[in-house]
Amino acid sequence: MRQLAAIMFSDMSGYTALMQQNEQSATTKRKRLKEVLETSVPNYNGKILQYYGDGALSIFNSAVDGVTCAMYIQELLKEEPTVDLRIGIHTGDISIENEVVYGDGVNLASRIESLAVPGSIFISEKVFDEIKNQENLSAVEMGYFELKNVVQPVRVFALSGNGLTVPARNVLKGKTKHPSNRLAVLPFMNMSTDPENEYFSDGITEEILNAITRVEGLQVTSRTSSFAYKGKNSDIREIGSQLNVDRLLEGSVRKSGNRVRITAQLINATDGYHIWSETYDRDLTDIFEVQDEISHIIANKLRENLNDGSQEEKLVKAPTQNVEAYSHFLKGLHFYNRITPADTRKAIDFFREAIQLEPNYASAFAMLATCYSFLGATGQMQPAEAFEMVHQYSDKALELDNSLATGYAAKGSAYLLYDWNWKPAYESLRRALELNPTTTGAHQLLSLYYLITGQKKEAVDIMEAALKVDPISPVVHKSLADAYLLMGRTEEALKQIEWLLDMQPQMRIALELKGWCVGLSGDWKKAAEIFKDVHLASKHPLKGLTPLGCAFAKMGDTKNALECIGKIEQRQHEEPGVVLDVDLAMIWSALGESDKAFYYLSQCLEKRITSVAILLDHPAFKIPNEDDRYKTLKEKLNLGEYISI
């Protein structure tokens, strides 16, 4: 028999040692523990399934019941004769056969309990998600841990209040597998008198981060998550916990005329201990030798502290001997990382200026290609024009330097988003990730490739891998939620979205995805209420109506669904440059009007709107795949061989 349950492991601390010292006391405490369990667990809709030595395995109908019971047990055991107890709770599937309990959920609950300390209650992230809105329950994040026989790192919380013990993370050393070497490079502070030099300190940080990704044995956090702490005075231990890293590299940059001073510190994330620090005073005229020296020394210090080895290979190639060209390149990066169309165009100007000064600047060509890919993919340029430039500039970049991950990622984006040339898209994106595993944009594009070609599990896997190197990126969480939803794992998609909305309550695309999750779970009325908020957030009477129209259609409210279609058609008339065929296809499909849906889907193909490939197999729109027009569309997308996947 299989069932979903809150699984609680409880275990006496120091029982074996106490038996050796005072057998009578040990027996008394064990008896008291059993009495407390047997009087408490049933009162909270729980059941004791198994005793083992000095502990027990219990299950509950809900996480709230299990947590509340655990707190009550710990409170009772403070009374004489006191019992030092560790408790771990996880929610998951269990199987019960012939009074034997097993399953991954049981194993994980057991590992979490073993991580706990006397007087504490440790819970998994799944349990935390179920209790976090309970006013009388609170918890403190302990961070991620690699637990024995558990593949993925596990995020653990300690219940707080009512006299419960909440230990410091560093006292838990030795209870987990030896951790992998995980490092985050925090944005170096601009210590220059001119605040405009911030582009330089950010650029130095990014260059060092990219260099360190080449160090074998290190897992480096992506720029997006690392730079989330820019300008914040967060505790080092908190950052380490949130990013799931063992070490942090931070520093500062002071640029004055032709001189630069860079200070760097390597810090232990669990306790804030400074493992190593150094200051470099250099002349800007030989900036690339400085770059290599700094990255090289830092990398070897990391090897020394993390990997017990030292190597002498170069980690930074000098892309140009022109300091002014390099300055323009760093300014281009600065604006590109703001991720707006206007800033992307500013970035293009700076990258072009860098190339004028240094015609063989491979990285500048690669970033030009990346900028045009962004503009083409977001409808800010005609796709044909944008992706022609993506190919042109990425080809030039890779001709000059075939080790540039950004060049391969841009090339892959053109193959994927415009050419529909799936195999080269896959090969280019895979190569980008081989060269730089922190390139989470390549993860997202590769996930899209897998979704388009029907390989939904692989789409989830690649975004779960991205989450490891970019754990607090909103875009990564959104892309993982998309993959979960399209795979049919709606509950997990909703969990990712709730995380996003906790961090960024006004994020419209997250709110919209929450509506799809709710609707596909069977409550289209509630989904419609969410989609109304999405429409209001657009602050325009004719925008943000597509999901609402679909929800109306799913509810059988044809009148309101057609009203949404009318407003979308009105917008198309008022803004002829905007492509809304996919929006109309979605609502007509939700209404069950196959002919009209296929008409607009065909229009999408004529205009090379790649998202139609996702729409054809989206769980919310059951495009009839037995219809010959479905097969025709797939073939026009060059997806004929993937129809049966």
Give per-residue pLDDT as tens, 473-482.
Answer: 888 899 999 9
Cis upstream peptide for 81 (omega within 30°): yes
Rounded distance between C-alpha atoms, residue 2 and residue 94, angstroms: 6
pLDDT tens-digit series, residues 603-637: 989 888 888 888 888 988 877 777 889 889 999 99
pLDDT of res. 455: 92
Residue 47 has pLDDT above 70, yes or no: yes
Task: Tell me the CA distances in angstroms from 507 to 227, 463, 537, one per residue in order.
Answer: 19, 20, 9
pLDDT tens-digit series, residues 525-568: 999 999 999 999 988 999 999 999 999 999 999 999 999 999 99
Nearest 5°: the CA angle 387, 391, 397 is 135
Q: Phi/psi at 571 (nearest 5 deg)?
A: -65, -40
pLDDT tens-digit series, residues 482-492: 999 999 999 88
Share of the chain above pLDDT 70, in %: 91
Share of the chain above pLDDT 90, in %: 42
Cβ distance 122 to 115 under 8 Å?
A: yes
Q: Phi/psi at 621 (nearest 5 deg)?
A: -130, 100
Residue 297 has pLDDT above 80, yes or no: no
Domain range 181-317, CATH architecture: 3-Layer(aba) Sandwich (3.40)
pLDDT tens-digit series, residues 300-353: 666 665 444 445 555 556 566 677 888 899 899 889 888 888 899 999 999 999
pLDDT of res. 316: 53
Query: Among residues 286, 638, 588, 613, which one has the least CA distance to residue 459?
Result: 613
pLDDT tens-digit series, residues 389-437: 999 999 999 999 999 999 999 999 999 999 999 999 999 999 999 998 8
CATH class held by domain 2-172: alpha beta
pLDDT of res. 19: 63
Task: Tell me the CA distances in angstroms from 476 to 94, 222, 250, 496, 510, one per residue in order.
Answer: 30, 11, 24, 10, 12
**Interval 503-511 mean pLDDT:** 86
Residue 266 has pLDDT above 90, yes or no: no
Distance of CA 445 to the CA centre of its chain: 14
Q: What is the dihedral of CA 603, 608, 614, 616, to 10 degrees?
A: 30
Cβ distance 290 to 260 under 8 Å?
A: yes
Nearest 5°: the CA angle 395, 396, 397 is 90
Residue 18 has pLDDT above 70, yes or no: no
Q: Phi/psi at 185 (nearest 5 deg)?
A: -105, 105
Rounded distance between C-alpha atoms, residue 398 and residue 348, angstroms: 18
Where does the pLDDT of residue 504 fall: very low under 50, low under 70, confident under 90, or very high at 90 and above?
confident
CB atoms near residue 35 (< 10 Å): 11
**Strand duo 247-256 + 189-190: pairing:** parallel
Secondary structure class of 469 (helix, strand, coil): helix
Annotate 347-416 with DSSP letters as a single string. HHHHHHHHHHH-TT-HHHHHHHHHHHHHHHHTTSS-HHHHHHHHHHHHHHHHHH-TT-HHHHHHHHHHII
Residue 177 has pLDDT above 60, yes or no: no
The helix or strand, by DSSP H or E, that contains position 158, with its residue range, turns out to be strand 154-160
pLDDT tens-digit series, residues 558-599: 999 999 999 999 998 998 878 889 999 999 999 999 999 999
pLDDT of res. 308: 47
Residue 645 has pLDDT above 60, yes or no: no
Residue 176 has pLDDT above 70, yes or no: no
Q: Structural domain boundaries of the chain? A: 2-172, 181-317
**Interval 57-68 mean pLDDT:** 92
Mean pLDDT estimate for the chain: 86
pLDDT tens-digit series, residues 192-215: 877 778 888 888 888 888 887 877
Rounded distance between C-alpha atoms, residue 450 and residue 458, angstroms: 6
